[in-house]
Amino acid sequence: MTINRDLVKGLSLLAIALFFGLQANSYPLGTLGRAGPGMFPLVVSALLFLVGSAIVVRTRIVRGDRLEFKARNIALVAAGLLSFVLLSGYVNMLVGLTVMVLISSYAASDFKLSRALALSAVLACVALAMKLGLGLQLPLY
């Protein structure tokens, strides 16, 4: 099944406009002469809604490209980042770093465990140097 990329684009923009616009509407709007916190975001969301609608309308006239999406790599990278934060918080950053390198390296087509472990060892040394040399407050251990 092919999905029209421009249609998805327009609909996503409409969703973003609604997300911000509906919240902005719940803040005090004030008057134009004395604008409240909701006024400006509401105006901008309305403009974004217009632009999004124009993009959706355009898909009815111009044939759009097919949407291609590869979920694997971005999912691995995101999972690596999340495990880095969680493990750094609950255990320490050296463990977080190693696990992140292992998970994200898996995204490369030529994954080798030994190389990933060697890389985390190198990065651990770099991190140690940054903590001791540059005085960054990294919770390494």
Scan for tokens 């140097």, then name that residue. Answer: 129
Sign for the CA dihedral angle at 14, 65, 77, 136 comes to negative
Binding site for another protein (CB under 8 A): 5, 8-9, 12-13, 16, 20, 23-24, 27-28, 31-37, 39-41, 44-45, 47-48, 51-52, 54-55, 58, 61-62, 65, 67-70, 73-74, 77-78, 80-82, 84-85, 88-89, 97, 100-101, 104-105, 107-108, 110-112, 115-116, 119-120, 123, 127, 130, 136-138
Q: How far apart are CA 120 and CA 135, in angstroms?
A: 21
Evaluate whether 119 touches 104 at the Cβ level (below 8 Å): no
Evaluate whether 10 touches 52 at the Cβ level (below 8 Å): yes
Nearer to another protein, 2 or 110 (CB): 110
Q: Least distance from C-beta 5 to another protein, angstroms?
A: 6
Q: Least distance from C-beta 94 to another protein, angstroms?
A: 12
